[in-house]
Amino acid sequence: VLTELQSGFSFHLSLARNDTIYIIGGHSTESNTRPPNLYKIKIDLPIGSPAVNCCILSGGISVSSAVVTQVKENEFVIVGGYHSDNQKRLVCNTVNLEDNKIEIVEREAPEWTPDIKHCKT
C-alpha cells in the first residue's frame, strides 16, 4: 500500500467501477496540504489469495470534503469542497470512468448563493 494512504490521509473522494477503486484528492494531515492525488487500486479475486495493485495516475485534482454523485453508469459529478483550510473550491468536475480509464474535466458550476460564497465553512 502507498505511504501516502497510510500517513494521515483523509477527506478524499472514492469512486468504484467493477474491480477498480479510484481515490481522488484528499487532505494530508501530516503536511496540511491537499495535493492533486489520483490513485488507482485494482483488486483481483482469483481462487486463492486476492491481489491488490495500486498505482499513481496523472490528472488528479486538489480537493477535499467535496460531494460526488453518480449521474450515469460511467459518469460522476464532483461539486464544491476545499482547496485549503480557508479556500473553498467553487468549481465542479465531471469524472468519466470507461474502459479502465479515468478522465476528470471541469464543468460549469452552479450559481453559488452568497452565503455559500462568503461563509467560512
User: What is the average per-residue pLDDT within 104-120?
Assistant: 85
Residue 40, C-alpha cell as written in the block: 488507482
CA nearest to 17, candidates 78, 79, 81, 70:
70
Quote the longest CA-to-CA distance of the chain. Answer: 56
Cα–Cα distances (Å) from 55 to 4, 5, 38, 104, in that order, read 12, 12, 9, 17
Q: Which residues pair with 54 in a beta bridge?
A: 41
- Each residue of 22-65: pLDDT tens digit? 999 888 888 888 888 899 998 888 888 888 888 889 899 988 88
Q: Are 81 and 66 in contact (CB under 8 A)?
A: yes
Q: What is the mean pLDDT of residues 93-117?
A: 89
Amino acid at 84: S
Domains delineated in the chain? 3-118 (2.120.10.80)
